[in-house]
Chain A
Amino acid sequence: AQKVTQAQTEISVVEKEDVTLDCVYETRDTTYYLFWYKQPPSGELVFLIRRNSFDEQNEISGRYSWNFQKSTSSFNFTITASQVVDSAVYFCALRGGTYKYIFGTGTRLKVLA
């Protein structure tokens, strides 16, 4: 069975703080893909990053960075120097050997000015 766990339901930080959103996944597939999406208050899911299981390199994109560790089945997402516009619900998703994309329950991030 495939599963994605986002244990943090809601996080509040003050602007300019760093914040890490956790994602733990379960799959028996050797080839799989991991994703992060942002869902702002407007509701539309916005793609942030895609990672395949053979590429464990960490990635940085501006204030965003991702840490993929197969040994702990985790794909964590860090926002550096958070801003109010980062306030949203963030979803981690897994696509294994089937066509299904399994989403976590999301982490609501509130960045306070």
Chain B
Amino acid sequence: GAGVSQTPSNKVTEKGKYVELRCDPISGHTALYWYRQSLGQGPEFLIYFQGTGAADDSGLPNDRFFAVRPEGSVSTLKIQRTERGDSAVYLCASSIDGGGDTQYFGPGTRLTVL
């Protein structure tokens, strides 16, 4: 079956621009997570969705970051007024119900802010 997919695979933007990163989870998975991975680091939690609602957004670094999942499937991570420090790989993962079950990761979107 299809795994988690993310688009685009690479995104290069200029400082101050707005970007959207998309995640398509495994069909039937109600839990969806966004992470950010910087070079040489482990994934860092950003936000967790259970269905359509953000159950935990405590990892979002500031109010320039926002994520939605309007129909409980596809999710979009939105970053306003990008800064060079936002450059990283953004990972999406999904799991069946979020109750400690296994997360399956997508290939990530590499964001570069010039």
Residues of A within 8 A of B (CB): 4, 31-33, 35, 37, 42-47, 50, 52, 91, 93, 95, 98-106
| Interface Cβ pair total, 8 Å cutoff | 58
* Chain A residues within an 8 Å CB radius of B62: none
Q: Which residue of B lies closest to A48 (CB)?
A: B102
Q: A45-B91, A91-B43, A105-B41 are in contact. Are A99 and B105 (CB under 8 A)?
A: no
Please name the 3 residue pairs, one residue from A and one from B, whose CB atoms are nearest each other, closest first.
A103-B42, A45-B105, A33-B100
CB pair B41–A101 under 8 Å, yes or no, is: no
* Chain B residues within an 8 Å CB radius of A32: 100
B66 at the interface (CB under 8 A from A): no
Q: How far is the CA of A99 from the CA of B31 in the complex (A)?
A: 10
B25 at the interface (CB under 8 A from A): no
Interface size class of B (residues with CB under 8 A): 20 to 34
Residues of B within 8 A of A (CB): 31, 33, 40-45, 48, 50, 55-56, 58-59, 89, 91, 93, 98, 100-108
* Chain B residues within an 8 Å CB radius of A103: 42-44
Q: How far is the CA of A102 from the CA of B50 in the complex (A)?
A: 18
Q: A98-B56, A99-B55, A100-B48 are in contact. Are A91 and B106 (CB under 8 A)?
A: no
* Chain A residues within an 8 Å CB radius of B89: 43
CB pair A35–B56 under 8 Å, yes or no, is: no
CB pair B107–A44 under 8 Å, yes or no, is: yes
* Chain A residues within an 8 Å CB radius of B33: 101
Q: How far is the CA of A105 from the CA of B103 in the complex (A)?
A: 18
* Chain B residues within an 8 Å CB radius of A37: 105
CB pair B48–A106 under 8 Å, yes or no, is: no
